[in-house]
């Protein structure tokens, strides 16, 4: 299948610009909140509405593509052949509900299993991180440079709160070797920090839609994205993932007790 990464990039930026405007303007008015797997796993009418909107636009523009998405409006995708979009309509729903900031909307595109395009909007700051290996990386219209390959001792690290609290895989040993520990509650917001060199590592248990867009862009920026057991990333499964500078990821893998 012939795909044009630049064209997909323009499509994703236009789409997330509209999504951002709608979420900033409408969400405060008519939000209804329900729980999914547990009392802290929230879903709102805006998660659902936004996913339906994004998926509809993708199907109009790329009818041959398949969609993996969080809230159930996507396809049952069994393999990564062809053009596959991953959609997380609102990433950081807890922040969306409780704080009204630090939430994102994310779309990743893969072709025959290869990372192609990523786009993440930090909704309240209206900044869209987007691009890929072929076209480079941008925040809105501004091209960005790759972050420095800093070691653990020189950077801040993000670990999901449950993992850090439970000291999963002895992750606190990694945290202690770093400059400090941060928790934001949105994978999308953290990918923005990694891409701009504000933090050097993120470790979390991520579903395909949590990871897809950030993986495309972090790999394009020269960072490493690995599964904790060293196995290749499977984009159709949830897994514990470490994303960071090459130096930090290799140090983390040596420190973590994963097996």
Q: Per the annotation, does 88 bind a ligand?
A: yes
- What is the DSSP code string of the chain? ----HHHHHHHHHHHHHHHHHHHHHHTTTS--EEESSSTT-EEEHHHHHHHHHHHHHHHHH-TT-EEEETTS-S----S--SEEEEEEEEE-HHHHHHTS-S-EEEEEEEETTEEEEEEEEETTTTEEEEEETTTEEEETTEE-PPPP---GGGSEEEE-HHHHHTTGGGHHHHHHHSSEEE--S-HHHHHHHHHTTS-SEEEEEE-HHHHHHHHHHHHHTT-EEEETTSPPP-TTS-EEEEEE-HHHHHHHHHH----
Q: Does 204 bind ligand IPD (CB under 6 A)?
A: yes
124 forms part of the interface with ligand IPD (CB under 6 A): no
Say if residue 26 carries a ligand binding annotation. no
Q: What minimum distance in Å lies between the beta carbon of 198 and Ca ion?
A: 20
Which residues between 82 and 111 bind ligand IPD (CB under 6 A)? 88, 91-93
Contact pattern for Ca ion over residues 52 through 91, marking x by CB under 5 A: ------------------x-----------------x-xx
- Partner interacting with residue 186 (select from Ca ion, ligand IPD, none; CB below 5-8 Å by kind): ligand IPD
Q: Which does 160 bind (CB under 5 to 8 A by kind): Ca ion, ligand IPD, none?
A: ligand IPD
Find out whether 91 is annotated in a ligand binding site: yes
Q: How far is the CB of 70 from Ca ion (least distance, A)?
A: 5
Chosen from Ca ion, ligand IPD, none, partner binding at 185 (C-beta under 5 to 8 Å by type): ligand IPD
Nearer to ligand IPD, 199 or 210 (CB): 210
Give how many residues touch ligand IPD by CB under 6 A: 12
CB 65 within 8 A of CB 1: no
Residue numbers at the binding site for ligand IPD (CB under 6 A) = 88, 91-93, 160, 185-187, 204-206, 210
Residue numbers at the binding site for Ca ion (CB under 5 A) = 70, 88, 90-91, 210
Binding residues for Mg(2+): 70, 88, 90-91, 210
């Amino acid at each position: 299948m012939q795909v044009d990464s630049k064209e997909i990039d323009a499509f994703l930026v236009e789409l997330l610009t509209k999504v951002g405007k709608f979420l900033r303007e409408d969400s405060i008015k008519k939000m209804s909140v329900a729980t999914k797997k547990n009392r802290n796993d929230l879903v709102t009418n805006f998660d659902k509405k936004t996913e339906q909107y994004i998926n509809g636009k993708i199907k109009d523009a790329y009818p041959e593509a398949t969609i993996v998405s969080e809230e159930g409006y996507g396809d049952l995708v069994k393999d990564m052949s062809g053009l596959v979009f991953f959609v997380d309509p609102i990433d950081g729903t807890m922040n969306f509900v409780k704080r009204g900031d630090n939430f994102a909307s994310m779309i990743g595109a893969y072709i025959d299993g290869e990372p192609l395009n990523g786009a993440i909007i930090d909704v309240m700051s209206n900044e869209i991180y987007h691009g890929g290996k072929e076209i480079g990386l941008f925040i809105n219209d501004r091209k960005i440079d790759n972050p420095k390959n800093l070691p653990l001792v020189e950077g801040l690290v993000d670990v999901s709160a449950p993992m850090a609290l439970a000291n999963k895989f002895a992750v606190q040993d990694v945290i202690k070797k770093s400059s400090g520990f941060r928790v934001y509650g949105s994978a999308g917001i953290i990918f923005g920090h990694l891409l701009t060199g504000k933090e050097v590592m993120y470790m979390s248990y991520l579903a395909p839609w949590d990871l897809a867009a950030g993986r495309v862009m972090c790999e394009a920026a020269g960072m490493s994205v690995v599964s904790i057991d060293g196995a290749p990333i499977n984009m159709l499964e949830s897994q514990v993932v470490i994303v960071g500078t090459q130096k930090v990821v290799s140090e983390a893998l040596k420190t973590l007790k994963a097996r």
